[in-house]
Amino acid sequence: MSLFHDKRSRTGIPGKNRVTYVITGIMLTLLIVVLAQGALTTQETHLNGKGASHTDQIIEATNGSSNLSIDSSSIRQNTTGSGNDHTDMTRDTIYVIQFVLARDVIEREPVDIVESYTMTDARAWCFARIHNSNVMQDVYFYWYYEEDLYFEMSSKIGISPNWRTYSSVGLQPGTWRVRLKKADGTLMDEIRFHVSE
């Protein structure tokens, strides 16, 4: 008897379709196994109004004998901020690796890191790369324009040595600053900048 006979089996599925279902089932099982092996976590938040945000974790995937991961926990970069370490990295479970202004954020990376803007830029983008070795927690972006709070937003930070998040606001000429704080109000980093005509 042929495997691909057209007579219906007790399941009511013709022989050729039964094979298709079996192959599809095997493919789905393999996909589930691959996803289970790698920690694939992505969280996105987009806000309307004055600001916007995006958060994600770099993917760490394991496939059999080869591993792909990015561990930047030993990197500390602060190219446009105050340069002050507001968090003791030896004691704290969450700290800033990189906190910069950029002209844009594309594919969760800062594009054209800057120290100031002009009105031709229209938006300011603040990018943060954060190490978090404890539990998922919130951090907060506070944007100040001429010393008045202009916009604030929260961003969830998952457990990762390299969690990336950002926030953006529409610009006006003048003096600005953006602060990143923990939920308890502890200052993690700050950048001051100017927007010219």
Tens digits of residue pLDDT in 151-182: 999 999 999 999 999 999 999 999 999 999 99
Helix (H) or strand (E) holding 95: strand 94-106
Closest to 183 measured CA to CA, from 151, 136, 137: 137
Instruction: Say whether pLDDT at 44 is over 50.
Output: no
Measure the CA angle with vertex 58, ends 52 and 62; round to 5°.
155
Nearest-Å Rg of the Cα atoms of the chain is 24
Closest to 189 measured CA to CA, from 170, 172, 173, 167: 167
pLDDT per position as a tens digit, 100-141: 999 999 999 999 999 999 999 999 999 999 999 999 999 999
Contact between 169 and 123 under an 8 Å Cβ cutoff? The reply is yes
Q: Is the pTM of this model over 0.85?
A: no
- The amino acid occupying position 196 is S
Closest to 129 measured CA to CA, from 103, 94, 104, 153: 94
